[in-house]
Amino acid sequence: MAAPDHSVSLEDKFGLVAQHWSPRVVGEFNDLLVKVVKAKGEFVWHKHDEMDEIFLVTKGKLTIKLHDGDVVVAASEFFVVPKGTEHCPAAHEECELLLFEPAGVVNTGDAAPGDLTAPADPWI
């Protein structure tokens, strides 16, 4: 996709997303995609063996369950799950967050593909 010639509004992009746990691509720089995700309920325990995963919360509050305990990430906070670390994101109330990932990442990582496994890298 050609570089856009205008800024991208996260509010506009989140407004296009109805489905929870289904990342949508809204930008690209170098070899990374910028993704918006709406989260509500509990995701699935998984890990990404090759990738640290940054969760940058822009609205609401995300809980990242780790085997060592929970990390709560509020709006305007971020947390990095190191590669190979099992985690399970969850949100009591709907929250909004950004991810920064290379193309081709499967959102459910090493977990068995299931209902929460999203299509790879759809742009909106």
49 lines the binding site for a second copy (CB under 8 A): no
- Residue 30 lies near a second copy (rule: CB under 8 A): yes
**Residue with Cβ nearer a second copy (43 or 55):** 55
Q: Does 11 bind a second copy (CB under 8 A)?
A: yes
Among 20, 100, 111, 116, binds a second copy (CB under 8 A): 100
DSSP at 116: T
Query: Does the protein bind a second copy through residue 5 (CB under 8 A)?
Result: yes
Question: What is the closest distance, in whole angstroms, from the C-beta atom of residue 112 to a second copy in the complex?
Answer: 25
Instruction: Return d(Cα 78, Cα 97) in angstroms, integer.
Output: 9
Part of the chain binding a second copy (CB under 8 A), chosen from 17-25, 51-59, 106-114, 115-123: 51-59
Report the alpha-carbon distance of residue 17 to residue 67 in Å, rounded: 30
Work out the widest C-alpha separation in the chain, in whole angstroms: 44
Closest C-alpha among 104, 79, 102 to residue 89: 79
Name every residue whose Cβ is closer than 8 Å to that of residue 6 and which is 6 or more positions away in sequence. none
Closest C-alpha among 93, 106, 104 to residue 44? 106
Task: Assess 72 for contact with a second copy (CB under 8 A).
Answer: yes
Sites of contact with a second copy (CB under 8 A):
3-11, 27-30, 32, 34, 51-54, 58, 68, 71-74, 76-80, 82-83, 100
